[in-house]
Structure 1
Amino acid sequence: MRINLSVLLLLLTLWSCAEKRSVNDKEATSLDDFKSYHLDLNLPKESFVDMIESVELMQFEETDESLLSTIRKINRLDDGFVFHTDKKIGADDHLSIYFFDENGKFQKKINRQGQGPEEYSSIEDLWIENGLVAVYSMPKSVIYRYTTEGEFVDSRKLPDQLRVGGIRPYKDGYVAEMNFHSINDTSYYKFAKLDKDLKVEKPFLKYDNTPDEMPWFIDYSTVIPYQDGVQLFRVFSDTIYAYTNDKLAPLMHLDFKENWFWGDKPVPTNELLQKVEAENKVWTIGMSIGQKYIYANALIGYSHWEYFLIDRMNGKVKRMGMPKGKSVREEFYYLGWEEDRLMFSVTTADVPDILSALDESQINYREGTTLEKIESSENPLVMWVKFEELNK
């Protein structure tokens, strides 16, 4: 069987090859002590909606300049949000950067897409850095920076032969996930700390065997701000790392036991990926780590996703049955935690089924958002979900 790359690009949502770790959770004294959580595919499913304590909905204003497709990555500003959207067939709107205020009112968009020296050809990562909009574009391995009005400030190219999957600022430099690219001609590492000039300061976790150099274009950032540092993910991995206080350490491990495809296999190769469908095991994981909970999803072969909610302190795990709306698999995306609430990007088509299963007392609307506006707009909206305690 040949791999259908278009299918893989659609399905992949995160991360990389397995490391086997063990930990005695009783010895862990804080949430940042390394823990391993068992995600049992045989747990009974509990309805996602039944696990909700409350939701808050916010509609992104629909104007001629803000017709949005799926939101997969979002940055929180002090007074709102900045993001780019998924690609629409036949359109380049995914190369625009949108600004909305904290109530979802459209403010502006900027677009510096092009082939010129001040223009990006794609957006693999987007963040705010010292009040500037920073865009990492993988094809040329360049970080571009603009004012929030779209004026070009500067661009910085990574050294020749250095390409990264995800990158974010850290202190006076950057931390990067390598996405199976080599550090140089012969060395392959999973992560790297770069200095202020984008040169490799220190690589981390060298591959014992050389993987196939295969860049995976994924929907989620693999480097995410976390406390005073960053969380680090890799494609096809069940282990999450944290880079804080100038040190890299494993943060947590999601243990699928015998259902983990990469458990007894060496580094990923295209030959091994041919076996994913036949073995029908978990082979890629997505997750969002909050102050109290972890939301995780796992792709089983090419057949379906499994969803879990994990209590970080007591280790309790619930397997969730997600809503079966019109587009839940493709467009019901988690965007990250805000304190104890998980943000989702939801289509208007999915909203009625969710709300109909809740009491009115559980539903809140952000200022300017109403059910009537939601039903009359095609723009996605943000839904903040607060879950009930897992020990109930």
Structure 2
Amino acid sequence: MKKDKVLPFQYLILLLAVSGTSSCGGDKSVKSDSLVIDYKEFRDVELRNFFKDITYVTLENHEESIINNVGRIVVLDTSILVESGDEITEFSKKGKFLRRLNEQGFGPSEYQRIADFQLIDNRLAILDNKSDRLLFYNLEDFSFVSYIPLQFRGGSSFEYDNEMFYFHKSNRLNPLLNGTDKYEIITTDKEGNIMGGYLPYEGEVKSGVTENLIGLDRPFGRDGSSLIYSNGFRNDSLYILSNGELTGVNIGFPSRPSIPNDLNKSHFQPSPEELLSRNSEIHVGPFFNFLTPKSQSFVILYDMNFRWVYLKDDKIKFMSKNIIDSKIKIDIVAPNNYSNGYFVSVLTSEWLETQEQKIINGLNDIEFLKTAHQVLNEDLNPILILYKEK
């Protein structure tokens, strides 16, 4: 990794640090500071004050193009790739269905489950965490190219930088060669050979749970010199991996509700659904990381609502409860993807249902109003919102 750049977020940590410890399993050291986020400071944010080129993409709806449970989104020059239900669907930037990659199976060119995917050197790289390998397909025609086996299990997401892969994995599936692996970040070379492992900070952070993130999380974010990793269910922490050193940032929440006794029991293993349903009793986050050339931000989930913390120019620019666009006058859910200069929010029928009264009251944009009504009433493909930083 490059060694000549320090992120604004790292400066912010120095300014807001209130404590420091060091502890880590394995052969890597971790330094840790704390960042305090108070929910009382969350405010509504006007989207157009911070972002430009705001585009609403209505995805085409027919039997071949329907998607559900959107995961990774990759924004290209003229199209958008959307992972959903172990398929990757390509739409034009106007929402027209183009094609779909669906190669589920047990053959050498097929995958069993898509945990994550990336675009690398004009190829789609798919992480199959059921067969524990990376598969590569041509972007031009979705034809199979090759695969590399992985020497660990449980990978849930990955990034690629400077000819190295960085995997986030679950410690509940931990056989690494001799079965002793407890690392949560595994680094490999381009051939899949393990180069190192990192186990995040395990100090006294009272989150009450020890689960890893839900499968559709995006715990990684990166720029040209650093990589940000989050471990929300475990201990409300962010980690900066730069120049081979992992720096931990514990996030404190003064208004966190008290933790129920059963969640404190070590043998209690709640399902993701139960954790979410009881989120009024616990905190879940950070859920998504966005490390861009201009900013660093993360999204947390609290009281069944996503909250977005956005940092720029060494400062917290906003901590949002609701994101508002004056053009459409309804709340926009916090982004769950960042790609090629664009943040991406997904307005599903479930989300639009929470905004139904505002939709009924009318919007400035008549075309969007028609689309919102259709998505809401017919449970069709979500509306994607792409917005670029100023």
Q: TM-score, normalised by structure 2?
A: 0.68
Residue 185 (structure 2) pairs with residue 191 (structure 1) = yes
Identify if the C-alpha distance between structure 1 residues 380 and 154 changes in structure 2 by more than 3 Å, giving closer, same or farther: same
Structure 1 position 215, deviation (Å): 6.7
Identify if the C-alpha distance between structure 1 residues 64 and 354 changes in structure 2 by more than 3 Å, giving closer, same or farther: same
In structure 1, distance between residues paired with 2:321 and 2:91: 31
Q: Which has the higher contact order (CA 8 A, sep 6+)?
A: 1
Q: Name the counterpart of 2:299.
A: 296
User: Conserved in 2, the CA contact under 8 Å of 1:343 and 1:385?
Assistant: yes
**1:25 match: secondary structure:** helix
Q: Name the counterpart of 2:15.
A: 25
Q: Name the counterpart of 1:16.
A: none
Residue 175 (structure 2) pairs with residue 176 (structure 1) = no
Identify if the C-alpha distance between structure 1 residues 200 and 98 changes in structure 2 by more than 3 Å, giving closer, same or farther: same
In structure 2, distance between residues paired with 1:72 and 1:78: 20
The correspondence of residues 131-146 of structure 1 with structure 2, limited to 5 A, is 131-146=122-137
**1:315 match: secondary structure:** strand
**2:316 match: secondary structure:** coil
**1:286 match: secondary structure:** strand
Identify if the C-alpha distance between structure 1 residues 187 and 66 changes in structure 2 by more than 3 Å, giving closer, same or farther: closer
In structure 1, distance between residues paired with 2:334 and 2:216: 10
Q: Name the counterpart of 1:240.
A: 238
Residue 204 (structure 2) pairs with residue 203 (structure 1) = no
Equivalent pairs counted in the alignment come to 330
Q: Name the counterpart of 1:38.
A: 36
Residue 110 (structure 2) pairs with residue 114 (structure 1) = no
1:294-336 Cα offsets, whole Å, 9 max, x none, are 3522335xxx33624344433355351579xxxx99x946233
**1:220 match: secondary structure:** coil
User: Conserved in 1, the CA contact under 8 Å of 2:230 and 2:288?
Assistant: no
Q: Name the counterpart of 2:148.
A: 156
Identify if the C-alpha distance between structure 1 residues 188 and 261 changes in structure 2 by more than 3 Å, giving closer, same or farther: farther
**2:246 match: secondary structure:** strand
Q: Name the counterpart of 2:24.
A: none
User: Conserved in 1, the CA contact under 8 Å of 2:220 and 2:289?
Assistant: no
In structure 2, distance between residues paired with 1:279 and 1:101: 39
In structure 1, distance between residues paired with 2:33 and 2:316: 9
Correspondent of 2:385 among 359, 383, 389: 383
User: Conserved in 2, the CA contact under 8 Å of 1:72 and 1:333?
Assistant: no
Q: Name the counterpart of 2:28.
A: none
Correspondent of 2:253 among 250, 253, 256: 256
1:171-196 Cα offsets, whole Å, 9 max, x none, are 22311123214344224122122122
**2:112 match: secondary structure:** coil
In structure 1, distance between residues paired with 2:112 and 2:269: 32
User: Conserved in 1, the CA contact under 8 Å of 2:218 and 2:289?
Assistant: no
In structure 1, distance between residues paired with 2:382 and 2:88: 16
In structure 1, distance between residues paired with 2:126 and 2:295: 30
In structure 1, distance between residues paired with 2:372 and 2:156: 35
1:145-204 Cα offsets, whole Å, 9 max, x none, are 112323211111112x44423222222231112321434422412212212221221112
In structure 1, distance between residues paired with 2:310 and 2:64: 39
Q: Name the counterpart of 2:94.
A: 103
Look up the equivalent residue of 1:204 and give its one-letter code.
Y
In structure 1, distance between residues paired with 2:33 and 2:74: 28
User: Conserved in 2, the CA contact under 8 Å of 1:231 and 1:242?
Assistant: yes
In structure 1, distance between residues paired with 2:101 and 2:111: 12
User: Conserved in 1, the CA contact under 8 Å of 2:118 and 2:124?
Assistant: yes
Identify if the C-alpha distance between structure 1 residues 238 and 334 changes in structure 2 by more than 3 Å, giving closer, same or farther: same
**2:62 match: secondary structure:** coil
User: Conserved in 1, the CA contact under 8 Å of 2:72 and 2:82?
Assistant: yes
